[in-house]
Structure 1
Amino acid sequence: MRARTTLGAAALIVGAVIAGLATPAQAGQADPFTAAAAEFDVPRDLIVAVGYGETRLDGHGGAPSQDNGFGVMHLVSNPSRHTLERAARLTGEPVAELRTDTAANVRGGAAVLRAMADEHGLSGADRDRLGAWYPVVASYGGAADDRVARMYADMVYDLLRAGVDARGVTAEARDVLPELGRFASVRALDEGAGALDYPGAIWNPAHSANFAAGRTDTIRTVVVHVTQGSYAGSISWFQDPASQVSAHYVIRSSDGEITQMVHDQDTAWHARSANASSIGIEHEGWIDDPAWFTETMYRSSAALTAWLCDTYGLAKTRDVIVGHSEVPGNDHTDPGPNWDWDHYMSLVNGG
């Protein structure tokens, strides 16, 4: 499975409205995206695209992401990023409301986008041009690595071009040309560059504070994880020295792109007691939403797992290929009940 650096438009247009998760608009209230756009002079469809790229417009009942982000707009509170607290200051909304209330969260995300636009010097006329928001969107993603920031912004602009239809919220597809600014000289993550292990991956290393060089045990297990967050956000989190976590590989939902972040012969910190003897694979998504587990992701991941088993002499069985929740001494529940183990294992074994 070869890595790709752009998202397929067909994979981005989601038409299913999840039963029982009505938006405020469906409940007879004003569309929170339209209201927030008017209040903070941020393009409404840009807010939608950012929210969809972060969470597919699902607030997950206030549950935090892997890097402690909350709500549809993924407002973050961790040692390195404080968009949740910034949204509270800008809007006057209590932090508790920003975490759990969709309308408040969307309003907070719009307020942060507008504050960042002011910091980037966008005038009123600039704010009317969707393309001018590109560097603002890159900043909103929170990546320290400019290449990851560009990947995040490219994802949002791919969504604007493809359109969004999810959970009762729509944004029409539009032909928009991003104004890259300084990001025009930022190269994309290179396919295969420095990836000394799996040949189909992009190499983008985790921070050295988040894994241990070498191993104290042989590789005996492949551990399947779910990121509880976005692809770009998870990569950024593993590059943050404050996180103290990492995985060997991260896989994107839409197209199966694989980023390798720790070499196989080094010890990623992903599964506590199994760290020294395992390879960790993170899959973009949330355990409570099976829509993230696309066929493309399953096939890309299965090809990687099959390669790992062949390379390190591992049996392609469920006692070797395990979920994070199955590792002794762990308190995580991923990949959760929506992960199709039968299908996945059939693909690993050539099905």
Structure 2
Amino acid sequence: MVSAALLLPLVSAAPPATAGRPAASDVLQRAFAAAADEYGVPRSVLLAVSYLQSRWDGHGGAPSVTGGYGPMHLTDARTALASAPHHSHGAEDPRGDSSRAAKHVVDAAAPEPSALPGRLRTLERAARLSGLAPERLRTSPAANILGGAALLAAAQRELGHPASTDPGDWYGAVARYSGADDTATATTYADDVYDVIRSGERRTTDSGQVVALPADPDVVPETGQAAGLGLRTAVTAGTECPRTVACEWVPAPYEEFGEGDYGNHDKAERPASQSVEYIVVHDTEATWDVTLKLVQDPEYVSWHYSLRSSDGHIAQHVPLKDVGWHAGNWYVNAKSVGLEHEGFLVAPDAWYTEAMYRTSARLVRYLAQRFGVPLDRQHILGHDNVPGPTAATVRGMHTDPGPYWDWAHYFELLGRPFTPAAGPHAAVVTIRPRYTAHQPLYTGCTEPGEACPPHGSGAVRLHTEPSESAPLVKDAGLRPGGQDSTAGVNDTGARASTGQSYAVAERRGPWTAIWYLGQKAWFSNPGAEPTAVGTRGWVLTPREGLAEIPVYGRAYPEAAAYPAGVPVQPLSPLPYRLPAGQRYVVGDRVPGEYYYAPSFDTSGHRVVRGREAYYEIQFGHRVAFVKASEVTVSRV
């Protein structure tokens, strides 16, 4: 029932950055001990479940992306519902293909609170079991831990197991705590909890407290208890997932409807037809049930995988050989895999469960190995890093997963942490603030201009001068009128994100300037608490004799490469220029390529390749492309 592969731990490249720091207080540690004793739950089980839910963070009583509160992630999703998923927002065409009419989709209403599944309403049940008021469970970490312990104890009773002091005897209760509705997901979640118990953890939380779980490598979970959970067996036929995750097949339709219209993806033969170069991380801005409903609608759009927040469950919708409509840029769509994570970008203190981070990292590692995709930020993109394909589309591009996605932790799980590869005076830096402590002001989470609650962030602000009072740098694509960028949570115009690398333009005291969108951009980078680390890499600059060069949002072939019957796609420079003397970090050298697939009948589909080559670069918050013939590349 439980594959041995599910017991394999994630790659762990280093101990937590906060390991070994003195505790500010042991209040939280004592709260776990008291709750475990009161409800007869082994302390290691309670601590490990909480770690997988929240990494022991409380988030100041604010709800998570699924409406989960506190260290035990007790859910009350009524407070976190959005009005529509993100593919329905704004002006972005998810296909991003100018050879056919723009694909815009209608809003989808959020479900009524009474229709939410039990896994999104665990706070209500915890209140009944513990006798604690819902407001206390939301705002008090100690009460929240008591509520979680009450849920675990109730699950143990309902499964007919005694309140044993042996952590291994709680496997079934842990699996039920996940809220999963299928056996594979529940057991994958439980296996992760027991992996945490075996390996131990120690971490400083967002409230500044050190919580420790000593390693218990000899624990033996009673995995046979999974048979008594009474859960369904997910449909796995057709899925392309690693054995270390729970994955089911929920297919997106490939159907023709209307006059020459069809949905909701394109057939292809990747990687034989085209290489896969990118994995794009999205959030759904919708609940799980709404997400699955939409991706099965032929008139909507599509992506390859959805990941559930509460337990990390994965549903695959589109075969990897085919092209999903998700990134808003056809060149990127044709060469990428899209991952939608259940979540809400602009929810106050938006955050994600450890369970979802872990299964997502396992999936990305599998995909990267399968397609040879490098594990770096120029290939593992957020939707907010995908460039607009043309000047007219830049303003409508989406901004998920946003500044609260923890890229540093994600890449630690991928086994590729962002560590220094060069000294403090290196010519290239990689953005790497300390997520929990780094809390820049954002606005617009609930109302335009209104400050968002303080929260850790992996993004740094970029100024025109080395001063917090200096204006933010401008983004000519987002604001053609020359207005300044803002602190808005969805404004990517002056933002550099964890893992992104830039060439250094200048240093002054605790400030570092980088080349960004054709200008010098400054961020605070004090030696005592650096927000970037030195690294090495390849950089490019306009070749000698060129005062500036155009920048593109897609790497399309030259006009002469298109055969008869395939309309020539314009190169269409973006509204930016790359001036002589500036340097930008290089990703890949790629051929000009265009996948022509505008019809349901695949017989006319063609991959057009040209002689013109391009370099992908980290140009601003988003990546971009420049012609290889117009630049000089060097190693620094």
Name the TM tier (shorter chain).
0.5 to 0.7
Q: What residue is the counterpart of 2:383 in the other structure? A: 324
Query: Which amino acid in 2 is paired with 1:261?
Result: Q
Select the residue among 196, 210, 219 that pairs with 1:176.
219
Select the residue among 171, 188, 194 that pairs with 2:238.
194
Q: CA contact under 8 A between 1:225 and 1:280: conserved in structure 2?
A: yes
Helix, strand or coil: the match of 1:72?
coil
Select the residue among 225, 247, 251 that pairs with 2:282.
225
Q: CA contact under 8 A between 1:222 and 1:305: conserved in structure 2?
A: no
Aligned-residue offset at 1:87: 0.9
Helix, strand or coil: the match of 1:97?
helix
Identity across matched positions, percent: 33
**2:143, 2:35 → 1: CA distance?**
9
Q: CA RMSD in A?
A: 5.2
Give a deviation string over 1:197-222, Cα, whole Å, max 9, x none: 689996822556xx555534559996
| Residue 41 (structure 1) aligned with residue 40 (structure 2) | yes
| Residue 263 (structure 1) aligned with residue 263 (structure 2) | no
Q: CA contact under 8 A between 1:226 and 1:283: conserved in structure 2?
A: yes
Structure 2 CA distance for partners of 1:181 and 1:347, relative to 1, 3 Å:
farther
Aligned-residue offset at 1:321: 7.7
Query: Which blocks of at least 5 consecutive residues in structure 2 are unaligned?
Result: 78-115, 205-209, 256-262, 268-275, 296-302, 344-348, 387-395, 406-457, 460-496, 502-534, 536-584, 591-615, 617-636
Q: CA contact under 8 A between 2:307 and 2:342: conserved in structure 1?
A: yes
**2:219, 2:377 → 1: CA distance?**
47
Aligned-residue offset at 1:76: 2.0
Kindly tell me the number of residue pairs found equivalent between the two proteins. 314
Q: CA contact under 8 A between 1:13 and 1:162: conserved in structure 2?
A: no
Q: What residue is the counterpart of 2:53 in the other structure? A: 54
Select the residue among 209, 226, 247 that pairs with 1:204.
247
Select the residue among 83, 88, 92 that pairs with 2:131.
92
Structure 2 CA distance for partners of 1:11 and 1:44, relative to 1, 3 Å:
same
Q: What residue is the counterpart of 1:6 in the other structure? A: 7
Q: What residue is the counterpart of 1:132 in the other structure? A: 169
**1:72, 1:12 → 2: CA distance?**
25
Structure 2 CA distance for partners of 1:273 and 1:164, relative to 1, 3 Å:
same
| Residue 17 (structure 1) aligned with residue 18 (structure 2) | yes
Q: What residue is the counterpart of 2:305 in the other structure? A: 249
Aligned-residue offset at 1:99: 2.5
Q: What residue is the counterpart of 1:108 in the other structure? A: 147
Give a deviation string over 1:266-322, Cα, whole Å, max 9, x none: 868x77999x98842257999879x969xx77972882796689xxxxxx997x985
Query: Which amino acid in 2 is paired with 1:280?
Result: G
Give a deviation string over 1:243-263, Cα, whole Å, max 9, x none: 6477523689xxxx9966222
**2:215, 2:197 → 1: CA distance?**
6
**1:56, 1:65 → 2: CA distance?**
13
Query: Which amino acid in 1 is paired with 2:53?
Result: E
Helix, strand or coil: the match of 1:223?
strand
- Answer with 150-159 or 160-169: which moved more: 160-169
Q: CA contact under 8 A between 2:65 and 2:351: conserved in structure 1?
A: no
Structure 2 CA distance for partners of 1:273 and 1:87, relative to 1, 3 Å:
farther
Q: CA contact under 8 A between 1:201 and 1:259: conserved in structure 2?
A: no
Structure 2 CA distance for partners of 1:71 and 1:110, relative to 1, 3 Å:
same
**2:32, 2:237 → 1: CA distance?**
40
Compare the two structures and name the one with the higher strand fraction.
Answer: 2
Give a deviation string over 1:11-53, Cα, whole Å, max 9, x none: 3985443999x7762xx57711011011111111111000111
**1:279, 1:85 → 2: CA distance?**
37
**2:13, 2:178 → 1: CA distance?**
18
Q: CA contact under 8 A between 1:193 and 1:203: conserved in structure 2?
A: no
Q: What residue is the counterpart of 1:312 in the other structure? A: none
Higher relative contact order, chain-length normalized (CA < 8 Å, sep 6+): 1
Q: CA contact under 8 A between 1:273 and 1:329: conserved in structure 2?
A: no
Compare the two structures and name the one with the higher helix fraction.
Answer: 1
Structure 2 CA distance for partners of 1:198 and 1:112, relative to 1, 3 Å:
closer
Select the residue among 280, 297, 310 that pairs with 2:338.
280
Q: CA contact under 8 A between 2:367 and 2:373: conserved in structure 1?
A: no
Structure 2 CA distance for partners of 1:203 and 1:86, relative to 1, 3 Å:
closer
Q: CA contact under 8 A between 2:242 and 2:366: conserved in structure 1?
A: no
Structure of higher CA gyration radius: 2
Q: CA contact under 8 A between 1:251 and 1:301: conserved in structure 2?
A: no
Structure 2 CA distance for partners of 1:216 and 1:72, relative to 1, 3 Å:
same
